Structure 1
Amino acid sequence: MSFKRFAFQPFIYQALEDKNFSEPTEVQEKLIPVIKKGKSVVGQSQTGSGKTHTFLLPLMDKIDPSKDEVQIVITAPSRELATQIYQAAKQIAQFSTPEIRVTNFVGGTDKQRQLDRLKNQQPHVVIGTPGRILDMMNEQALAVHTALAFVVDEADMTLDMGFLAEVDQIAGRLPDKLQMLVFSATIPEKLRPFLKKYMDNPLIEEIRPKAVISETIDNWLISTKGKNTNALIHDLLTVGHPYLAIVFANTKTRVDEITDYLRGQGLKVAKIHGDITPRERKRVMRQVQNLEYQYVVATDLAARGIDIEGVSHVINAEVPEDLDFFIHRVGRTGRNQLSGTAITLYEPSDEQAINEIEALGVTFKPKEIKQGEIVDTYDRNRRKKREKSRDELDPTLIGLVKKKKKKIKPGYKKKIQWEIDKSNKAKRKVERRQQTRTARKNKKSSNS
């Protein structure tokens, strides 16, 4: 299957060739034809499924560059996500003649400069965070009443971060006859009233991943019991020789602790969490993309909001409290069919969470660091599995079985085996006798 069947304009194919995209992903194959026809869509798909180009390619194919008006509006819940979509749209737009104008409206940028530019001309494609886009509209600077399509990306994250009210206000000022595309990893119940309000009989398409995480990812599980976790993370980063590694922690405080420790060990480490200023975050992200950093320590904001190419290793410094974030974290590596390694550190209290992750279909390989090498170790459930598979024995024989494991005379081993066989034979005899009695009783009651 190739992109040729979608009959895009030539500039779209130039952009695809520039990105070395030859075959559409499953979500692209299913939804691009529907979006091209102008139908509204609710697309439920996991991160890394190719959904950004699923909406960008058919929508940008429809743009009329000769019109000085907004034709597409796209919202994303974080600056990083909005910037990623903006960069993808700019890459496509650069091959168009005449020019397709794409603008990114996010917080932490020069608002006055954006207002001044809008006085001269409107962008064809508006991308940004809901708050800043609404701000531009309220200033009477951004005219969205001409839009043909409205995209709400990462709708569940938009809801979680409290931005759905702003998205609602933007949608309320767009034309009635509008193609609306909503993409989300999940469809929470609280999102449904919004969808019902603005979408008339949309196509709802759930793209179920073939596997909960990419099959190219190795999942390792390492116990932190009795270990210094910070030192263990340092060893994993230096022993494993990652090309680019992201270490995830649950809180900003923990991110600060890990970063300070690693820097104290002489590693050059980038730090990303909610308390980092937008300007600083943007600068750090640019440096990471340019491979000026080999190690990044981040909160879950980065798991959903940042797409860093070339991540070879992900380390979960702690099991995430929301297990959905495990999938988002691990999904930062193993992208585009490249191999990746995801390492999860756990302590005994995480046992239930690990079991729940395994229930999702994730298979862990138990590992440990020994003499400066990462090696295979024992399965943490080995004792339970052994007990489950072992034949039940009478309490009186368990002592004999234990003795059997010791180095003892061959004659004594035979004696123990004879005792076990004798016991089993007696059990079977009792069972047969009981079955005979039951059969007699049944026969007697049926005759009477």
Structure 2
Amino acid sequence: MENQFKQFQLKPFVIDGLNAMAITAPTPIQQKVIPALLRGENIVGQSQTGSGKTHAFLVPLLSMVDPTEDATQVVITAPSRELANQIYAVAQQLIQTEPVIRINRLVGGMDKQKQIDKLQNHQPHVAIGTPGRILDMIKSYDLVPSSVRHFVVDEADMTLDMGFLETVDAIASSFPDHLQMAVFSATIPQKLEPFLRKYMDNPTTIELKPQSVIADTVENILIAAKGRDKNELIYQLVTMGHPFLVLIFANTKTSVDAIHDFLKHQGLKVAKIHGGIQPRERRRVMKDVADLKYQYVVATDLAARGIDIKGVSMVINAEIPRDNEFFIHRVGRTGRNGMAGTAVTLYEPGQEDQIAELEHMGIKFAPKMIKNGELVDTYDRNRRVHRKPKQEDTSLAIRGLVKKAKQKHMPNYRKKIRTAVLLERKRNTKIARRQALLAEKRKNRKRG
């Protein structure tokens, strides 16, 4: 099937990159954003994360880069390292057949001197990073802003929430006047509007109404691995009940091989699909899966993209994908055509931020655990955030007053108790001050 992105008259290397990622048809946001950016319009795009907006701006901007010009032409900011890394990874995939285009990642947590050295050797055609690090590089004259023609602010509402809008403002003000700007956000808060008016006259507004990110027919489960053997957890999940067809996703070939070997050793008939398998063998495996010769399939994201496996009743994320958009693609394999499906995501301690990012996309998880061979409800991982702070220790007299008031059902007893607590605190504060003054006087006498 011919790649539908050809309608936009993109450079061949971009089409090659999309084909390599098995992306052949544009999403609704891409249908609107790509031609608008190619026409040179400023854009305010409002859509949920996971709608395909990363490709919506990367595809046209990379196609407009002039690789013969040794200067920075595109700057893209994201509010977190993780999001910047995701954009960078997609950009690298899109230029894999056009290595002359230089893309630099400028984020905190990486060796700053190495980043500076790289910039001094050659200016990147595209700079992708967090606002703080990009502004640092501009202020130190390591990243030259005078040649920038396109500026993208991704996740603008999150940028505002995290206090980076002033930094982004400083970045934008360093660029030339003839700047094409695109701002993408899940919502457009009122505090963001002055920034938009400052840099964009009559921008094209592209708004896609939020849709359910995951089908209502999918039960979306979250399980904390807590250092337990993930392979064992996966085995328990796939042998629990009677799933029709299970798709297990991992991020790397090595992880896919390890899960596949473990399940096979347990006596399960399991297939694996990843980029390291020869095309002929891969086609054979896919035919066998379509013929229902396998009940379990372990795969990487890119190997499974574009492959339609019908009848998937369960998806297991053995690892959280590096790109959040892949999460949607994974979970979207089940619960199709009104059928019920189950999606299970395993996460380790320290991955709470990644889960929070998925929740920011509108994904709702049901926290569960495996107990006695069954999935049972467990506590919300954020329970400590929501938990009410402990009351300060009160005296025995106050506790007695509370007990007595409850027993006698005194009217307005809560108000009376609060008043009593406040009075007691004032008395205690006075006593403490008095004792401190007496102690100070004693010290002065001894010195005298």
Which TM-score applies when normalising by structure 1? 0.56
For 1:71, the equivalent position in structure 2 comes to 73
| Aligned residue identity for 2:78 | A
1:201 alignment partner AA: N
Q: CA deviation at 1:60?
A: 0.8
Q: How do 1:88-127 residues align onto structure 2 when only pairs under 5 Å count? A: 88-96=90-98, 99-127=100-128
Q: Give the equivalent residue in structure 2 for 1:344.
A: 366
Cα gap change, 1:305 to 1:326, in 2 (>3 Å): closer
Amino acid at match of 1:20: A
The equivalent of 1:140 in structure 2 is: 141
Secondary structure, in 3 states, of the residue corresponding to 1:80? Answer: helix
Larger radius of gyration: 1
| Cα distance in 1 for residues equivalent to 2:225 and 2:137 | 46
Amino acid of the structure 1 residue aligned with 2:199: Y
Matches within 5 A, 1:42-53: 42-53=44-55
Match of 1:32 among 34, 48, 62: 34
Structure 1 residues 113-122 or 143-152, which shifts more? 113-122
Q: Any idea what SS the aligned residue of 1:32 has?
A: helix
* Contact 1:313–1:343 (8 Å) recurs in 2: no
Provide the residue aligned with 2:207 in structure 1. Answer: 206
Displacement after TM superposition at 1:219 (Å): 2.6
1:240 paired to 2:237: yes
Change (3 A) 1:229 1:77: closer
Deviation at 1:130, TM superposition (A): 0.4
- 1:4 aligned residue: 6
Task: Tell me the number of residue pairs that the alignment of Structure 1 and Structure 2 aligns.
Answer: 290
3-state SS in 2 of match to 1:157: helix
1:272-331 per-position Cα deviation (integer Å, ceiling 9, x unaligned): xxxxxxxxxxxxxxxx999xx975699xxx9979979857524799xx9xxx97753664
1:2-46 deviations in whole A, cap 9, x for unaligned?
A: 112101111111111111111000100111111110100010111
CA deviation digits over 1:61-98, x for unaligned, max 9? 1111111000000001111111111111112222126x
Q: Cα offset for 1:117?
A: 2.1
* Shift in Å, 1:215: 2.1
> Secondary structure of 2:113's match?
helix
Change (3 A) 1:307 1:79: farther
Determine the structure 2 residue equivalent to 1:151.
152
Aligned equivalent of 1:444: none
- CA distance 1:206–1:151, change in 2 (3 Å): same
Contact in 2 for aligned 1:245/1:294 (Cα 8 Å): yes
Q: 2: CA distance between counterparts of 1:111 and 1:316?
A: 30
Deviation digits for residues 166-220 of structure 1 (CA, Å, limit 9, x no counterpart): 10100011111111000111111111111111111101111124x3222286136
Distance 1:74 1:237, change over 3 A: same
What residue is the counterpart of 1:58 in the other structure?
Answer: 60
- Report the equivalent of 1:177: 178
Can you give the 5+ residue segments of structure 1 that lack an aligned partner in the other structure?
223-227, 247-287, 332-341, 347-367, 377-448
Paired AA for residue 76 in structure 2: I
Name 2:19's counterpart in structure 1: 17
One-letter identity of the residue aligned with 2:162: M
Q: Tell me the distance in 2 between the aligned counterparts of 1:136 and 1:369.
A: 49
Residue correspondence of structure 1 range 23-422 to structure 2 within 5 A: 23-96=25-98, 99-209=100-210, 211-215=211-215, 218-219=218-219, 239-241=236-238, 243=248, 310=330, 312-314=343-345, 327-328=359-360, 331=363, 343-345=365-367, 372-374=373-375
Query: In the superposition, relative to structure 1, how do residues 46 and 187 fare at CA in structure 2: closer, same or farther (>3 Å)?
Result: same
Q: 1:243: Cα distance to partner? A: 3.0
Q: Give the Cα–Cα distance (whole angstroms) in 2 for the partners of residues 164 and 306 of structure 1.
A: 28
C-alpha change, 1:316 and 1:122, in structure 2 (3 Å) is closer
What is the SS of the residue equivalent to 2:212?
Answer: coil
Deviation at residue 129 of structure 1 after TM alignment: 0.4
By how many angstroms is 1:369 displaced? 7.5
- Are residues 229 and 141 of structure 1, via their aligned partners in 2, closer, same or farther at CA, if it must alter by over 3 Å? closer
Equivalent pair of 1:84/1:307 in contact (CA under 8 Å):
no
Listed one character per residue, the Cα deviations across residues 226-279 of structure 1 (whole Å, up to 9, x for unaligned) are: xx999xxx9987643483599xxxxxxxxxxxxxxxxxxxxxxxxxxxxxxxxx
Question: Does the 8 A contact of 1:244 with 1:294 survive in 2?
Answer: yes
Q: Closer, same or farther in 2 for the Cα pair 1:294/1:66, shift >3 Å?
A: same
RMSD: 4.3
Distance apart, 1:121 and its partner CA: 1.4
Query: Structure 1 pair 156/345, CA: closer, same or farther in 2 (3 Å)?
Result: same
8 Å Cα contact 2:78/2:131 also seen in 1:
yes
Q: Indicate conservation of the 8 Å contact 2:73/2:147, yes or no.
A: yes
Provide the C-alpha distance between the structure 2 equivalents of 1:42 and 1:30, rounded to a whole number of angstroms: 11
Report what 2:268 is aligned to. none
Q: Matched residue of 2:360: which SS?
A: helix
Q: d(CA) in 2 for partners of 1:120 and 1:19?
A: 31
3-state DSSP class of the match of 2:178?
A: coil
- Counterpart of 2:214 in structure 1: which amino acid? S
Q: Distance in 2 between matches of 1:310 and 1:81?
A: 19
Letter in 2 for 1:198: Y
Q: CA deviation at 1:110?
A: 1.3
1: CA distance, partners of 2:87 / 2:202: 27
Q: Which consecutive residues of structure 2, in runs of 5 or more, have no partner in the other structure?
A: 239-246, 252-299, 303-315, 332-342, 378-448
